[in-house]
Amino acid sequence: MQPIDSVEPYEQSELYKLRHTAAHVMAQAVLELFPEAKLGIGPPVDDGFYYDFDLGEDENGRRRTFTPADLERIERRMRQIIAGKYPLRYRVVTADEARELFKDQPYKLEIIDGLLRGEFNEYGDAEDGPPTDLVISTYRHDTFEDLCKGPHVAHTGLIPVDAFQLMGTAAAYWRGDQSRPMLQRIYGTAFFSKKELKRHLQLVEEAKKRDHRKLGRELEIYIMDEEVGPGLPLWLPNGTILREELEKLAYEMEDAAGYQRVATPHIAKEELYRRSGHLPYFADSMFPPMERDETRYYLKPMNCPFHHKIFAAKPRSYRDLPLRLAEYGMVYRYEQSGELFGLMRVRAAEQNDAHIYCAEEQVEEEFMAVIDLYRRYFDLFGIDRYVMRFSKHDRKGLGVKYADDEAAWLKAEEIVRRVMHQAGVPFEEVAGEAAFYGPKIDVQAWSVVGREFSLATNQVDFVQPARFELTFTNRDGRPETPYCIHRAPLGAHERYIGFLIEHYDGNFPVWLSPEQARVIPITDEHHDYARRVVAQLTEAGIRVHADLGSERMGAKIRAAQLMKVPYMLIVGGQEAAAGTLSVRLRDGEQRNDVPLGEFAAHVQRRIRTRSPEL
């Protein structure tokens, strides 16, 4: 049953079908133009579709790739196939028929075997166990038939010829495995109208300009260093200010919501992670252990077990609950090198973490308060497009991937569902992506240019408290196991700041801006006054510098604009005499003869209210 206020899953939308069909049409065109090509997989993705191909090697043993001219030819052929209005026909085949059909397609044969063994689906994604009701099916149009369970549009003519486009190519390992062949991926996108495609292409352009890796370097926010290691960002002074401002925000919000702050070490003994269940469930994502004096230690992949120990440090009664323990905690996860991406996917991340221990009857209220917190952050940062993904257990994974207590799963999932309905937040339910200890809510948000980010997760945990033998004395004087809500509304600094860089295009609101104002003297005769302005504004709690270099004023203004400083304060003889400033705002607006004290008060107000305005 679909929840009434849930959003339609993309996988069932018309747009998904359209793009899926476009992927098949592209594969047909490629096979016709490159008959030796071997087919990998070709699913729709969030902003389009792709298909992977193995073009073999050239005479020098190098892997063949597609050229821009190839893409043009493929696109031309696609238009003809679209014009043919070929219907897409579904049929169920036996394993033997499938093997015969794809006998020249080794990757498809591998997928057929994977399907039969229940190891992965037709997109090569891992599955949990042997299939209960395996159906092998294909979709055929014109001369092309693919291993596929759909869905598709009715015929190829439904792809608008002026609203699809091939976007480019990339190398991709077969099934994401670096030990397997490197395939050539062609990305494309498709929409229902030319207008939507045009809008999308504009956003893609804009997103490129805003890429946090590019802006992160230009605005001196963070660097990566080969010798330090991939996925291990170094925060520069400007980035550190961003982190500290976000932490300050979280402290204020959490203080007001009754959290207490704790601090815990970055490593712990193996036993702790055995008890928490991170070993073995999460071992793949952890750094390998270190050993000293016959004891094995691990870098922490999550903060939870430490907080559980703090809960257990003294007897707790129902009067102590809910107990909300918060920490900006550093966690280390061994992400595959192919998955690392700027600040978005790193190996060391500082999480806006907290664990809320509460009695069963408090879970709903506490969970609701967490959802509210999320919404206040979204309001503050002007994030108006977001969806929460509610990941549940699946029965197949019980005892393997998930704690083996279906009744407890259903109960926890029901609580989450009730709260999401009550809160009226957009959400979708997905089976099989929960945490091993309870249902999980991932928050996906879109930046103003439409880039999608997974920003935060939280979980309702009915497993770990029992594993850690956590109890409190209930009203009847008996020991009871608490629930634990894991929450991290600001996710990790790394990803959140990466998101904010792109969301704001580096034009951070005043309270977040690393440098809030820059004083630019017209000539060096005005350096003294510039220094006085800096001293006075610093006193007022404003982050301000003076540019006392030897460049001309125009060059200094351009330099400040490049760093996206909200206020440029031009000072000359007139300003020095009157104790005023010529204020040039980042957006180009100019305000002359502003008394220094008045400007300071204005900026303080902006900072205090965390206003998005200048």
| Residues noted as catalytic | 304, 333, 351, 353, 355, 440, 486
**β 472-473/427-431 pair status:** unpaired
Q: Which is nearer to Zn ion, 20 or 316 (CB)?
A: 20
The residue among 39 and 346 lying less far from Zn ion, judged by its C-beta, is 39
Beta bridge partners of 169: 186
Residue 148 or 583: which CB sits closer to Zn ion? 148
Min separation Cβ 393 and Zn ion, Å: 17
In whole angstroms, the minimum distance from the beta carbon of 193 to Zn ion comes to 23
Candidates 148, 242, 343, 600: give the one binding Zn ion (CB under 5 A): 148
Q: Which of 81-89, 143-151, 211-219, 377-385 is the region at the interface with Zn ion (rule: CB under 5 A)?
A: 143-151
Stretch that binds Zn ion, among 154-162, 170-178, 285-293, 479-487 (CB under 5 A): 479-487
Residues of span 374-393 touching Zn ion by CB under 5 A:
none
Which residues make Cβ contacts (< 8 Å) with residue 308, sequence separation at least 6?
276, 355, 464, 465, 468, 470, 484
Least distance to Zn ion, CB of residue 361, Å:
22
Question: Minimum CB separation from Zn ion for residue 139, in Å?
Answer: 6
Cβ proximity to Zn ion, 7 vs 466, nearer residue = 466
Residue 116 near residue 94 (C-beta atoms within 8 A):
no
Of 487 and 606, which has the nearer Cβ to Zn ion? 487
Closest CA to 310 of 274, 278, 357: 357
Q: Judge whether 194 and 183 are in contact, CB under 8 Å.
A: no
User: Shortest approach of Zn ion to residue 435 CB, angstroms?
Assistant: 9
Which of 71, 286, 304, 542 is in the footprint of Zn ion by CB under 5 A? 304
Is 19 a binding residue for Zn ion by CB under 5 A? The answer is no
The rounded distance, in Å, linking the Cα atoms of 524 and 516 is 22
Tokens for 409, please give them: 């799963």
Kindly state the smallest distance separating residue 355's Cβ from Zn ion, in Å. 6
Pairing of strands 472-473, 316-317: parallel
Stretch that binds Zn ion, among 276-284, 299-307, 338-346, 525-533 (CB under 5 A): 299-307
Stretch that binds Zn ion, among 87-95, 251-259, 303-311, 530-538 (CB under 5 A): 303-311
Q: Which is nearer to Zn ion, 148 or 197 (CB)?
A: 148
Buried b (16+ CB within 10 A) or exposed e, 353-375: bbbbbbbeebbbebbebbbebbe
Residue closer to Zn ion (CB basis): 354 or 533:
354
- Contact segment (CB under 5 A) with Zn ion among 29-37, 162-170, 483-491, 541-549 equals 483-491
| Positions of E strands within 462-587 | 472-473, 479-480, 483-487, 517-521, 544-546, 567-571, 580-585
Rounded to an integer, what distance in angstroms lies between the CA atom of residue 191 and that of residue 206? 19
> Between residues 392 and 486, which has the closer beta carbon with respect to Zn ion?
486
Closest CA to 428 of 13, 10, 17, 121: 10
Binding string, residues 95-134; x marks residues near Zn ion by CB under 5 A: ----------------------------------------
Applying CB under 5 A, the site for Zn ion has a residue count of: 3
User: CA 499 to CA 215: how far, in whole Å?
Assistant: 11
Binds Zn ion by CB under 5 A, chosen from 486, 495, 518, 526 = 486
Contact segment (CB under 5 A) with Zn ion among 106-114, 144-152, 544-552, 559-567 equals 144-152
Q: What are the strands, taking DSSP E only, across 85-195?
A: 89-93, 136-141, 144-147, 164-173, 182-190
Q: Give the 3-state secondary structure percentages of the chain, helix then strand then coil, rounded to 5.
A: 40, 25, 35
> Which amino acid, one-letter code, is at 607?
I
Minimum Å gap between C-beta 124 and Zn ion is 12
Question: What is the rounded radius of gyration, in angstroms, for the C-alpha atoms of the chain?
Answer: 28
- Distance (Å, rounded) from C-alpha 255 to C-alpha 488? 15
Least Å from the CB of residue 442 to Zn ion = 14
Interface with Zn ion (CB under 5 A): 148, 304, 486
